[in-house]
């Protein structure tokens, strides 16, 4: 199974110095990852948003409960099936039944298509798969219509003792496709003799972006040392502002200014003629993203500096990265899917109304498929006949796996029961 498949990207220009470094160091990079995975356990799956600014490349978001499975092109499905097989064999080799817990309030056609494709992938991996809802409004089994005419069966989850399942379905593994952003329901707590993937402390209600960023920074420094590069080239600068700070808005403004100043110094060092910006995010998952180019904009965004601590949001400040890629006339960013420790594919997220410095995630986002590169492509100039073209998707695969590994580190550090493996 290839660690990073050859996929077509929107990149058509010459290979950058950073990309060439990664391609030249492929054996060392793969050995580094191999040794890391001997000590750490990958999550079952995740989807990583990558930003390529041309001069630097980094993961800017990591979804541990990804949807969008229907956006993977059919040639990618076998990779996803094989990777799911590997993941299940490590977790529960005798696994027979798997229960997928989807998001509450399942209504949209996109959610239905994604769940149907995820169900097919897991079925082909040798599992009986059913969908169990923890939505309190789902009290009886129901059939949800799908765009292709194949109904999706959704059944309310039942709890019996320390296990959950369906009336005639006793799963050994529970796969959460619900980030539990509204909180962890009691029906999922204190399960015994069942594998819950990802674990509860990976939920959006408990995760903090700064914890993931800290792990991602540490791993970027180690990989940067291996590649002989400035680690800033592969991770975004960041800071966090806690709501209990005495002068909360002033502290947030100070942290925003600090990230902008550090970015400005890096731009000057590398001769980059762009204006730095930061993206302000909620420390937890979700929430509105705000792009700031000056710390003074904090006072405009938050006009009331005297909010009581319990009403103050906790903020994560992330260095903003431009995207250097377009699909047609639309700014684009790759979203890379990883199952276990394997890259299985991805797609481009696009937005016709937003520029290269904006978030492309929103109701009006578009999606463009990635496809496998042609095996018959001629070798690049200077290469011997018969040599294959370089894998331009490889650097995205390295970045995505770095983010997957950072998530593993993050969850190990936040695990309330460290003796248990997830």
Closest residue by Cα to residue 276 from 163, 357, 156: 357
Is it the case that residue 349 has pLDDT exceeding 50? yes
pLDDT of residue 149: 78
Q: Which two tokens stand for residue 13?
A: 């220009």
pLDDT of residue 184: 94
Is it the case that residue 420 has pLDDT exceeding 80? no
| Across 20-24, 164-168, 267-271, 311-315, least confident range | 311-315
Average pLDDT over residues 267-273: 96
Q: Are 400 and 333 in contact (CB under 8 A)?
A: no
pLDDT of residue 242: 84
Rg of the chain on CA atoms, in Å: 22
Average pLDDT over the chain reads: 90
Closest residue by Cα to residue 219 from 20, 3, 410: 410
Distance spanning both ends of the chain, measured CA to CA: 23
Q: Which strands make up the sheet holding 195-197, listed edge to edge?
A: 142-144, 152-156, 128-133, 97-102, 173-177, 195-197
Q: Which two tokens stand for residue 149?
A: 């005419």
Average pLDDT over residues 188-196: 92
Integer Cα distance of 110 and 146 in angstroms? 9
What band does 380 get if pLDDT is binned at 50, 70 and 90? Answer: low
pLDDT of residue 386: 47
pLDDT of residue 421: 41
Integer Cα distance of 168 and 397 in angstroms? 40
Place of tokens 């029906």: 187
- The three-class DSSP label of residue 36 is helix
**Backbone angle region of 382, left / alpha / beta, with phi > 0 → left and psi within -120 to 50 → alpha:** left
Place of tokens 């060392």: 28
CA distances to 46, 82, 120, 195 from 98, in Å: 18, 16, 12, 10
Summarised one tens digit per residue, pLDDT across range 83-125 is 999 999 988 888 899 999 999 986 788 999 999 999 999 999 9
Neighbours of 63 (CB within 10 A): 18
Q: Are 343 and 80 in contact (CB under 8 A)?
A: no
Closest residue by Cα to residue 133 from 153, 160, 147, 116: 153
Q: What is the DSSP letter of 299?
A: H
Sign (positive or negative) of CA dihedral 33, 35, 37, 40: negative
Is it the case that residue 374 has pLDDT exceeding 70? no
Integer Cα distance of 111 and 135 in angstroms? 15
Domains of the chain: 73-206 (3.40.50.11280), 237-320 (3.30.1490)
The pTM for the full model equals 0.93
Average pLDDT over residues 259-264: 98
Integer Cα distance of 115 and 119 in angstroms? 6
pLDDT of residue 2: 56
**Cis omega before residue 279 (within 30°)?**
no
- The three-class DSSP label of residue 110 is helix
Q: What are phi and psi of 216, to 5 degrees?
A: -65, -40
Q: Are strands 45-52 and 330-339 parallel, antiparallel or unpaired?
A: antiparallel
């Amino acid at each position: 199974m290839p660690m990073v498949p050859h996929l077509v990207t929107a990149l058509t220009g010459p290979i950058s110095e950073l990309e060439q470094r990664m391609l030249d160091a492929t054996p060392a990079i793969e050995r580094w990852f191999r040794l890391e995975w001997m000590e750490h356990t990958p999550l079952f799956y995740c989807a990583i948003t990558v930003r390529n600014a041309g001069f630097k490349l980094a993961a800017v978001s990591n979804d541990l409960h990804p949807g969008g499975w229907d956006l993977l092109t059919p040639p990618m499905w076998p990779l996803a099936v094989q990777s799911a097989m590997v993941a299940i064999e490590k977790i529960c080799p005798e696994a027979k039944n798997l229960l997928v817990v989807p998001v509450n309030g399942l209504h949209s056609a996109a959610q239905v298509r994604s769940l149907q494709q995820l169900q097919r992938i897991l079925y082909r991996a040798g599992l009986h798969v059913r969908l169990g809802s923890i939505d309190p409004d789902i009290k009886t089994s129901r059939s949800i219509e799908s765009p292709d005419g194949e109904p999706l069966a959704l059944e309310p989850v039942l709890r019996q003792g320390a296990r959950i399942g369906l009336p005639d379905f006793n799963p050994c593994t529970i796969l959460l496709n619900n980030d539990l952003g509204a909180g962890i329901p009691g029906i999922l707590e204190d399960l015994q003799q069942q594998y819950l993937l990802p674990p509860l402390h990976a939920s959006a209600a408990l995760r903090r972006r700064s914890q993931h960023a800290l792990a991602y920074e540490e791993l970027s420094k180690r990989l940067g040392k291996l590649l002989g590069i400035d680690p800033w080239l592969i991770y975004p600068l960041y800071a966090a502002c806690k709501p209990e700070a005495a002068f909360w808005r002033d502290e947030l403004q100070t942290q925003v200014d600090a990230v902008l100043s550090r970015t400005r110094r890096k731009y000057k060092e590398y001769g980059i003629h762009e204006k730095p910006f930061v993206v302000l995010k909620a420390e937890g998952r979700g929430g509105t993203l705000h792009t700031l180019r000056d710390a003074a904009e904090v006072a405009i965004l938050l006009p009331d500096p005297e909010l009581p601590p319990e009403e103050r949001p906790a903020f994560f400040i992330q260095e903003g990265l431009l995207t250097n890629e377009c699909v047609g006339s639309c700014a684009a960013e790759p979203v890379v899917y990883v199952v276990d420790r394997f890259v299985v594919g991805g797609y481009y997220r696009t937005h016709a109304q937003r520029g290269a410095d904006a978030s492309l995630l929103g109701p009006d986002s578009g999606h463009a498929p990635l496809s496998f590169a042609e095996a018959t492509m001629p070798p690049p100039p200077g290469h011997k006949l018969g040599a294959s073209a370089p894998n331009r998707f490889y650097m995205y695969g390295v970045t995505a796996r770095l983010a997957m590994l950072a998530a593993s580190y993050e969850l190990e550090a936040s695990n309330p029961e460290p003796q248990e493996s997830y």
